[in-house]
Amino acid sequence: MKRSAHTKILKQIMAGSLVTLIMSVSASAEITSMSDAVNKAGKQRMLTQRMLKDYALIGMNNTYGNPKEDLSKMITIFDTNLVDLQGYIKDKPSVESLSVLASLWAPIKVSLQKAPAKDKVAALQRALEVLLKAAHESTNLITKSSGNSAGKIVNIAGRQRMLSQRMASLYMLKVWQIDDPEFTSKLNTAMEEFSAAQKTLLASSLNTDEINAHLAKSGKAFKFFEMMGKSKSNKFVPSLINRSATKILTNMNTVTSLYASK
């Protein structure tokens, strides 16, 4: 097969995989249970980090995975999820938390819709950190109000999606040469939290063979991050990191949905 033809086929496969992932993450189904609500609230955490990753990739002119299109879609998904949650959640603490989330989101959305700028990304990262904490608080409150074990495991599984994108976004900022003195600490913490949560999920009594299979695939992809964390090399491989993060996200999105359906 000629190189040009091989490249064309590879791009088609990548594009198809991206579409599948976007559809699985963005499907805006009506919330029918508290477990569904926890799942959707948890996705908001992931989106804060995925949007930062996309922003950095666009800023570096890295087109792997079409980050410009992806960022636009993720902004829409965040908006839609927020509206869905505000329409379903009724308990006062969660409602108030979602209101805070909405107020924080409004100016960040404006920043994300502007052309990425290296001198703006540090401030954007700080703003997204605050948004992440607010999204995590909302998720925990909704999980608490759900009052069931499935809600708790959905929360843990859903957070793994966020950690996959957090590890990737931190790496992309490093590649973009954004100075963050806490980079190593943040990356190590994210990896430690992912590893600990993975052990909890593997021990869950709610697991099925299907869930265990997806957890195994996520664990395999995570090993790439562990190797990267231990490496002393100054060579960067953003496309490989993005691909590994996407594999984790895809599998953990499926796992979270399977838990939510119980």
CA distance 111 to 187: 25
pLDDT digits (tens, 9 = 90+) for 100-159: 999 999 999 999 999 999 999 999 999 999 999 999 999 999 999 988 778 999 999 999
**H or E stretch including 121?**
helix 121-146
CA distance 147 to 131: 25
pLDDT digits (tens, 9 = 90+) for 109-122: 999 999 999 999 99
Q: What is the dihedral of CA 173, 179, 182, 188, to 10 degrees?
A: 40
Each of the 262 residues of the chain gets a pLDDT tens digit; together they read 444 444 444 444 444 444 444 444 444 568 989 999 999 999 999 999 999 999 999 999 999 889 999 999 999 999 999 999 999 999 999 999 999 999 999 999 999 999 999 999 999 999 999 999 999 999 999 999 988 778 999 999 999 999 999 999 999 999 999 988 898 899 999 999 999 999 999 999 999 999 999 999 999 999 988 887 676 666 778 888 999 999 999 999 999 999 998 8
The pair of three-digit structure tokens given for residue 62, joined into one six-digit string? 């890295």
**Taking a C-beta distance cutoff of 8 angstroms, is the pair 194, 255 a contact?**
no
